[in-house]
Amino acid sequence: MSKQTIPVPDIGTTDPVEVIEISVKVGDTVKAEDSLIVLESDKASMEIPSPTAGKIAEIRVKVGDKVKQGDAILVMEGAAEASVAPAPEAVKAAAAPKTESAPKESTPAAEKPAESKPAAATAASSIETINVPDIGSSEKVDVIEVNVKPGQQIAEGDTMIVLESDKASMEIPAPKAGIVRALKLKEGDRVAIGSPILELEVAGTPSPAEAPAAKPAATVSAPTAAQPTQPSAAAPVVATQKTVAATNDVYAGPAVRKFAREMGIDLAKINGSGPKNRVQKDDIKSFVRDLIEKRGSTVAGTGIPAVPDIDFAQFGGVDIQPLSKLHKITASNMHRSWLNVPHVTQFDDVDISELEDFRGTLKAESEKRGVKISPLPFLLKASALALKAHPKFNASLLGDGERIAYKQYVHIGLAVDTPVGLVVPVIRDVDRKSIWELAAETATLAQQAKDRKLKPSDMQGGCFTISSLGSIGGLGFTPIINTPEVAILGVSKLTVKPVWDGKNFVPRKMLPLSLSYDHRAVNGADAGRFFTYLNELLSDIRRLVL
Ligand code: CAO
């Protein structure tokens, strides 16, 4: 496999310049124009692009080395027999014209007086139109950044604009210091050599004849070595010089700027790790990595910090099991509701002594019918009537946040605990069914749920949900609303409590209820009225038939 030594091309100066960045490592496969190293003189930094594609076999320089034209940078394996030698004109255009102290390095085009037209000169100062210098191509290119604004004092060499062709981006430095008086272009414009950039008020400007030409800071890199007369792939792209614009006060080369733009990253947010805090590609990569990590540590981009993942094995034995699909769905539904809905939970103790006495009288009939009757069917019926009497609870907010749907049916979901997780079958038209029908349907649906026989349609269309932990225990709990419903009733364990009847404390069967409601749809007063009505129905079940 052929090996080629890649030398430092003509960088527009014979002085040794410092290697400030090595952009590749041994074993890397590079394409033509990929940056190999970055050099920095006291005037500019330059990325040295690869003149050809190949694999890096050896690197002959290290950061801090001083190199000059012709010094070996690295050895490339499998490099095409391309023009490794730099294209001098392009190099000159790219590297030299940052400052007027190197006028001889300017391209002929850059020296055209048309590029800097003095206007309205006064003794003390004059206004000059600064034009786009020779950018190595006669094609129009995009203005992708305007780095200065009217009224701004700029120094010679400060980046005025950044241009981008389909092959490279170029920073156009100010040919001289002055105050920007007017901008002649904006981001998105397409410009070519000679297009006016801005009007610059220049102090103590020499006569027009002496006015120096504006010079390009960068050159368009030619795409292939097969076009030796064009600016070559080996031509260094002059990187930025520090600019004065606050928003652009970042030290980075065009390739890095382009990369940042492609990634949608604001360079100003990145701490450069290169010399003089120069931002390097790796800085952008690690910034992006950090962002992704941070995003991963927040809940779905909400900015809510995620619970950290802990290796529990460090504290003792751990058996890690996958979550069932149902568990995952329930978790996601709960989370969605918890995060979306402002929950308020209200508590009440309902005296269901009479209900329980009545239920006790149903035992024989219950056995005859083969239907077990718990307090639940009564709760379903009472809830249905309360929903009809208080339509705000029998409603759903629409996703547009502008409307609410009042339902003309009363379907109530019932939270059922099964070995594989929580399911909520829905009993339809609860308001129209008898207590026996509700008891039978509850038993059927609960059994189907436990046998995993429920169809998706059995779990749809609910207006309200009841979650009963009464057979299990607990004084009370705050149920999470089964969105898009607006309320849920939590039922806890009935206990006998002493209740003052005006003369004595009497033992009463008190059922603890909790009502969680969506405070976007329902106000506290509405909830108070709904709950009081529900309490009245349950404590005097005769009212259920009214
Ligand atoms: N207070 C005291 N006892 C109660 C009661 C209450 N609030 N509610 C029911 N009971 C009693 C019943 O009367 C029954 O007693 P007997 O056997 O002596 O008659 C016993 O508790 C068992 O009732 P049950 O559970 O068979 O029937 P149910 O109608 O009360 O409940 C169902 C049915 C499907 C809701 C229930 O089986 C269930 O799955 N509950 C859990 C619901 C759940 O997980 N909710 C939480 C959701 S949020 O995480």
Please tell us whether the domain made up of 327-545 is placed in CATH 3.40.50.620. no
Residue 497 neighbours by CB distance under 10 Å: 14
- Residue pair 132/191 in contact (Cβ under 8 Å)? The answer is yes
Q: How far is 502 from 144, CA to CA, in rounded Å?
A: 83
**21 closest CA partner among 213, 280, 217:** 280
**164 closest CA partner among 130, 128, 189, 184:** 189
Closest Cα to atom 18, ligand 1: which residue? 374
Q: Would you write out the chain's pLDDT as a tens digit for each of its 546 residues?
A: 688 899 998 887 788 888 888 888 899 998 888 888 888 776 666 788 888 889 999 999 998 899 998 899 999 988 764 444 443 333 333 333 333 333 333 333 333 333 344 434 445 688 999 999 988 778 888 888 888 999 999 988 888 988 877 666 678 888 999 999 999 999 889 999 999 999 999 886 444 444 444 444 433 333 323 333 333 333 334 433 333 233 346 777 767 887 888 888 888 888 888 766 778 888 898 888 888 776 666 666 677 788 898 999 999 999 999 998 889 999 999 999 999 999 999 999 999 999 999 999 999 999 999 999 999 999 999 999 999 999 999 999 999 989 999 999 999 999 999 988 899 999 999 999 999 999 999 999 999 999 989 999 999 999 999 999 999 999 999 999 999 999 999 999 999 999 999 999 999 999 999 999 999 999 999 999 999 999 999 999 999 877
Q: What is the DSSP letter of 332?
A: H
- Residue pair 181/195 in contact (Cβ under 8 Å)? The answer is no
**204 closest CA partner among 124, 129, 116:** 124
Residue 432 neighbours by CB distance under 10 Å: 10
* Chain position carrying tokens 């898009």: 484
What CATH class does 3-85 carry?
mainly beta
Q: How far is 297 from 304, CA to CA, in rounded Å?
A: 8
Residue ranges of alpha helices (H) inside 1-142 are 88-95
Query: What ranges do the domains of the chain cover?
Result: 3-85, 118-240, 247-299, 327-545
Before 308, cis peptide (omega within 30)?
A: no
- Reduced to 3 states (helix: H, G, I; strand: E, B; else coil), residue 455 is coil
Residues 6 or more apart whose Cβ sits within 8 Å of residue 541: 354, 355, 358, 378, 382
Closest Cα to atom 32, ligand 1: which residue? 416
CA 489 remoteness from chain centre: 37
From the options 3.30.1330.40, 1.10.260.40, 3.90.1560.10, 4.10.320.10, give the CATH code of 247-299.
Answer: 4.10.320.10
Catalytic residue IDs: 519
Ligand 1 site-directed mutation target among 442, 444, 468, most atoms within 8 Å of CB: 468
Q: Please enumerate, as own/partner, the contacts of 99-104 that have beta carbons within 8 Å and a separation of 24 or more.
A: 99/43, 99/156, 99/157, 100/156, 100/175, 100/176, 100/212, 100/215, 101/43, 102/12, 102/13, 102/43, 103/212
Cα 361 to ligand 1 centroid, rounded to whole Å: 19
Q: Is the dihedral of CA 466, 391, 509, 368 positive or negative?
A: negative
**82 closest CA partner among 14, 9, 24, 135:** 9
Task: Decide whether 3-85 matches 247-299 in CATH topology.
Answer: no
Cα 344 to ligand 1 centroid, rounded to whole Å: 24
Closest Cα to atom 10, ligand 1: which residue? 471
**452 closest CA partner among 322, 332, 325, 333:** 325
Atom of ligand 1 at shortest distance to CA of 377? 29
Tell me the pTM. 0.54
Architecture of the CATH domain 118-240: Beta Barrel (2.40)
Cα 469 to ligand 1 centroid, rounded to whole Å: 6
> What are the two backbone dihedrals, phi and then psi, of residue 411, each rounded to the nearest 5 degrees?
-110, 130
Cα 544 to ligand 1 centroid, rounded to whole Å: 21
Ligand 1 site-directed mutation target among 351, 356, 378, 471, most atoms within 8 Å of CB: 471
Q: Which residues line ligand 1 (CB under 6 A)?
A: 374-376, 414-417, 422, 442, 446, 467-471, 479, 491, 493-494, 511
